[in-house]
Amino acid sequence: MTNLISLPTVGFVSLGCPKAGSDAELILTRLRAEGYEISSAYDEADLVIVNTCGFIDAAIEESLDAIGEALNENGKVIVTGCLGAKGDIVQTTHPAVLAVTGPHALEEVMGHVHRHLPKPHDPYADLVPPQGIRLTPAHFAYLKISEGCNHDCAFCIIPSLRGPLVSRPVGDVLAEAENLARAGVKEILVISQDTSAYGVDVKYRTQFWGGRPVKTRLKELCEALASFGIWVRLHYVYPYPSVDEVIPLMAEGKILPYLDVPFQHASPKILKAMRRPASAENTLERINKWREICPELVIRSTFITGFPGETDADFDQLIEFLETARLDRVGAFAYSPVAGAAANDLPGQLPETVREDRRRWLMQVQEDISAAKLAAKIDRVIEVLVDEVDDEGVIARSKADAPEIDGLVYLDGFFAAAPGDFLQARVVDADHHDLYAEPVAQD
Ligand code: SF4
């Protein structure tokens, strides 16, 4: 292996969800801070780190393939991420890897890197931009506020992979957000396994940020993030009463009127079997209350169809819930067993065709709801954030659209903008998923 440049160089491959991406950003940031060069080409690197996903079989296969490819093309490979926490599958499949760690293991990964590729003698801290190294485009960034989860949902193995909830100190989170805002990031997406639980593990400890006390709690975190004057979007929030406290901040325009709440089902019996957090809450009542406080509120959610024991009546209850709640964005997954999850042993496992038919039916119901909600926006003037400009014009997102999972706003034939610009746009058309708009002249 020939290093074509003078600095020790690390190749990096990252697979998996935004949470894995956030781990990758921390590792990349530290590597650059210590003076390592990063390369996307295996043959220019002295060593390769593969950040894996181990959630479902397809992801495991993809991760194992990526490790094999890195071994073939480079030979020196360190594996990190969720797959590393799943027994010895990595070592058994690829005994030549140098080391394997689980997720959220920055120090461990760096220890292995130092062992196999000593760091440069005199690293220059200013090689690192203040916002760290990001995998996302320059205008939006994920901000991870905690790691792990205290729940034990029957279909999920994340707590066994990532451990119990550990909240990041609020001062660190805010310092990171401040650096992002200073570096020109226009939208921060707050992520964790359970955003509403932020600070529970440290009893909402008070810390100091910018000389003033801030509690490690979602409401206080949101208030502080609002001071940067950029979009702040909340993901993975559960419908606990405490969430009521952040809705007024949305109504006041301090953070985006957007909540990503993974309800997963509406039948109390199935929610109980799923062991979902806040399953005893009256969700419809809660949603109505939120909408009373903030009529603009957009709710995104995900659901699982065909969970073990789901009867026709349970599924009908879910459909009724969707028809009544009229959520803005919905994703649905046919239940699929995950190795090691408690749900695998539940009675009443349903055939794949039933699980899939129900998923299709649910999405059809939701499609009409989404289309009607988007059509209601025609003629309205909305603020959009530009994601890219291609041959046909500007592609942007509204406050109602999180990157990669929600819809887009197309301003066809309009080119006078750049990624990260905010624009006012009049909606002229809509389909099931996206909006079409034209720019509104600014004074
Ligand atoms: S809340 Fe449930 S689904 Fe989410 S990470 Fe925790 S155990 Fe998994």
Mean pLDDT along residues 356-372: 96
> What residues contact residue 95 under an 8 Å CB cut-off, 6+ apart?
none
C-alpha dist (Å) from residue 75 to 1, 30, 93, 119? 9, 23, 15, 19
> What residues contact residue 114 under an 8 Å CB cut-off, 6+ apart?
none
Instruction: Quote the CA–CA distance of 78 and 12 in Å, as a whole number.
Output: 10
Among 180, 166, 44, CA closest to 106: 166
pLDDT at 124: 47
Average per-residue pLDDT in the chain? 89
C-beta of 159 in contact with ligand 1 (< 6 A): yes
Q: What is the pLDDT of residues 210-240, one digit of tens each?
A: 778 999 999 999 999 999 999 999 999 988 8
pLDDT bucket at 136, cuts 50 / 70 / 90 = low
Instruction: Quote the CA–CA distance of 137 and 330 in Å, as a whole number.
Output: 25
- Say which residue, 212 or 268, is predicted with more confidence: 268
Strands 422-430 and 381-390 come out as: antiparallel
pLDDT at 122: 53
pLDDT at 394: 97
pLDDT at 216: 95
Q: What is the pLDDT of residues 298-348, one digit of tens each?
A: 999 999 999 999 999 999 999 999 999 999 999 999 999 888 899 999 999
What's 264's DSSP letter?
B
Give the residue whose CA is nearest to atom 2 of ligand 1: 153
> What residues contact residue 222 under an 8 Å CB cut-off, 6+ apart?
232, 234, 246, 249, 254, 255
pLDDT bucket at 265, cuts 50 / 70 / 90 = very high
Give the residue whose CA is nearest to atom 5 of ligand 1: 193
Query: Radius of gyration of the chain from Cα atoms?
Result: 23
C-alpha dist (Å) from residue 119 to 78, 92, 114, 133, 258? 15, 29, 6, 18, 43
Which string of b and e fits 397-435 if b means at least 16 CB within 10 Å? bbbbbbbeebbbbbbeebeebebbebbebebeebeeebb
Check: CB of residue 193 under 8 Å from CB of residue 148: yes
Q: 275 C-alpha to center of ligand 1: Å? A: 9
Q: 153 C-alpha to center of ligand 1: Å? A: 6
Which string of b and e fits 237-270 if b means at least 16 CB within 10 Å? bbbbebbeebbebbeeebbbbbbbbbbbbbbeeb
Give the residue whose CA is nearest to atom 1 of ligand 1: 151
pLDDT at 60: 86
pLDDT at 29: 84
C-beta of 163 in contact with ligand 1 (< 6 A): no
pLDDT at 352: 95
pLDDT bucket at 4, cuts 50 / 70 / 90 = very low
Read out DSSP for 153-198? -TT--HHHHH-S-EEPPHHHHHHHHHHHHHTT--EEEEE-S-GGGT
Mean pLDDT along residues 145-149: 92
Q: 87 C-alpha to center of ligand 1: Å? A: 20
pLDDT-above-90 percentage for the chain: 63
What's 252's DSSP letter?
T
Check: CB of residue 308 under 8 Å from CB of residue 349: yes
Whether pLDDT at 2 is above 70 = no
pLDDT bucket at 1, cuts 50 / 70 / 90 = very low
pLDDT at 10: 92
Beta strands in 40-103 (DSSP E): 47-52, 77-81, 99-100
C-beta of 147 in contact with ligand 1 (< 6 A): no
The whole-model pTM stands at 0.73
C-beta of 262 in contact with ligand 1 (< 6 A): no
Among 170, 176, 160, CA closest to 201: 170
Check: CB of residue 385 under 8 Å from CB of residue 397: yes
Check: CB of residue 373 under 8 Å from CB of residue 379: no
- Say which residue, 2 or 22, is predicted with more confidence: 22
Whether pLDDT at 23 is above 90 = no
Whether pLDDT at 123 is above 50 = no
Instruction: Quote the CA–CA distance of 11 and 104 in Å, as a whole number.
Output: 19
3-class secondary-structure state, position 353: helix
Whether pLDDT at 131 is above 90 = no
Check: CB of residue 10 under 8 Å from CB of residue 46: yes
Q: What is the pLDDT of residues 334-357, one digit of tens each?
A: 999 888 899 999 999 999 999 999
Mean pLDDT along residues 244-249: 96
Beta strands in 283-352 (DSSP E): 298-305, 329-334
> What residues contact residue 276 under an 8 Å CB cut-off, 6+ apart?
151, 153, 264, 265
Give 210: exposed, middle or buried? Use CB within 10 Å, 0-12, 13-18, 19+: exposed
Among 256, 296, 246, CA closest to 422: 256
pLDDT bucket at 19, cuts 50 / 70 / 90 = confident
C-beta of 382 in contact with ligand 1 (< 6 A): no
pLDDT bucket at 135, cuts 50 / 70 / 90 = low
Check: CB of residue 328 under 8 Å from CB of residue 298: yes
Half-sphere exposure of 237 (CA within 13 A, CB side): 24
pLDDT at 442: 67
